[in-house]
């Protein structure tokens, strides 16, 4: 009779084997899709944007996140996510980084309409702790972070960046 600890060990081995096989499959799919889109300007722009501005810290290994104050840059990033990673409408989430004197609700509406991200997809905003009542170069609409959570999509992006770098660097 197998005890509970042995059952857990067997399940963990099976899960690890599945994850390794799944990661290999994701990498192969990413390589094929890179070859399919490598001459598309929006595809290359999206990879470059994420490589330059996206969150790449290991603690965010499950997330594709880009934070910026430039509305056109974030619109382009969202178009890239929809077109090349097949992100469904409403799956992209957002977070605002604001100064205390800005109207959070108005700014949420601004970014929501601009990026076509529903208001219920915004998580709690970060309000900067400013020591001075006058902050230089204050951003009228703060910054917005557009992101999706997916280890697989993050892995795909890593492969695309690697392939792009090997071609052009």
| Contact indicator for 95, 133 with CB cutoff of 8 Å | no
169 has pLDDT over 80: no
Whole-prediction pTM value? 0.85
Q: What is the pLDDT of residues 107-143, one digit of tens each?
A: 999 999 999 999 999 999 999 886 555 556 678 999 9
Q: How far is CA 132 from CA 36, 117, 128, 138, in A?
A: 51, 32, 11, 12
What number is the average pLDDT over the span 10-26?
A: 87
Coil/strand/helix, residue 79: helix
Whole-angstrom Cα distance, residue 151 to residue 163?
A: 18
Whole-angstrom Cα distance, residue 100 to residue 135?
A: 11
Name beta bridge partners: 148. 64
Which strands sit side by side in the sheet containing 126-127, from one edge to the other? 63-68, 143-149, 93-98, 126-127
Task: List the domain boundaries for the chain.
Answer: 4-168
Would you state the pLDDT for residue 132?
56
Q: What is the pLDDT of residues 58-106, one digit of tens each?
A: 666 789 999 999 999 999 999 999 999 999 988 999 999 998 889 999 9
Q: H or E stretch including 166?
A: helix 151-168
């Amino acid at each position: 009779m197998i005890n509970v600890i042995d059952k857990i060990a067997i399940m963990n081995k099976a899960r690890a084997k599945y994850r390794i096989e799944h990661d290999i499959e994701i990498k192969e799919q990413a390589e094929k899709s890179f070859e399919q889109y490598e001459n598309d300007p929006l595809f290359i722009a999206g990879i470059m944007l994420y490589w330059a501005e996206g969150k790449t810290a290991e603690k965010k290994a499950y997330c594709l996140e880009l934070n910026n104050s430039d509305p056109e840059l974030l619109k382009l990033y969202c178009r890239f996510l929809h077109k090349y990673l097949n992100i469904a409408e409403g799956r992209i989430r957002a977070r605002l980084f604001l100064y205390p004197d800005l109207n959070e609700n108005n700014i949420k509406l601004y970014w929501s309409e601009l990026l076509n991200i529903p208001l219920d997809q915004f998580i709690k905003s970060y309000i900067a702790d400013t020591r001075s009542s006058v902050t230089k170069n204050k951003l009228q609409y703060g910054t917005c972070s557009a992101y999706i959570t997916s280890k697989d999509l993050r892995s795909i992006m890593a492969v695309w960046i690697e392939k792009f770098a090997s071609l052009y660097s």
